[in-house]
Amino acid sequence: MENNQGKLYDLINLEEISGGSDDFIVEMIKLFIEQAKSTISGLNSAFDQKDFTEIKNLAHQIKPSIDNLKIEILRPIIRQIEDLAEDQGQADKLSPLIMETNTVLETVLIQLDEELKDRNN
């Protein structure tokens, strides 16, 4: 599900709403990086504590950012996490989905760090 540059995300939505402002895109990337790091940590902690409400909330909060950055591989997964957490008690199904979300987000974070470096040159 990578785009033609091997990236798991696409900035086309940000480019469209930025009005050509590279500063805006950089700020949105930085915000996503912070949010993704918080989500990874939060999902792990909430899962360990079987806090399904928090899992659902975290999935719900990051969903628009995943959509905006067109992280296509995560779109169905984050929705499934949100649905399973709402139903509660399906930790066996949640665990691999959370692990996959974390892995994809960590890869996207690395790629976005590179994106920021490229934009600063």
Higher pLDDT: 85 or 1? It is 85
**Cα separation of 36 and 58, whole Å?**
10
Whole-number pLDDT of residue 1: 46
CATH hierarchy code of domain 21-120: 1.20.120.160
Please, what is the average pLDDT of the chain? Answer: 92
Q: Where are the beta strands (DSSP E) in 1-121?
A: none
Where do the domains of the chain lie? 21-120
Q: 28-66 in b/e burial notation, b at 16+ Cβ within 10 A?
A: bbeebbebbeebbebbeebbeeebbebbbebbeebbebb
Give Cα 115 distance to the centre of its chain. 16
CB 110 within 8 A of CB 7: no
pLDDT in tens, 22-77: 999 999 999 999 999 999 999 999 999 999 999 999 999 999 999 999 999 999 99
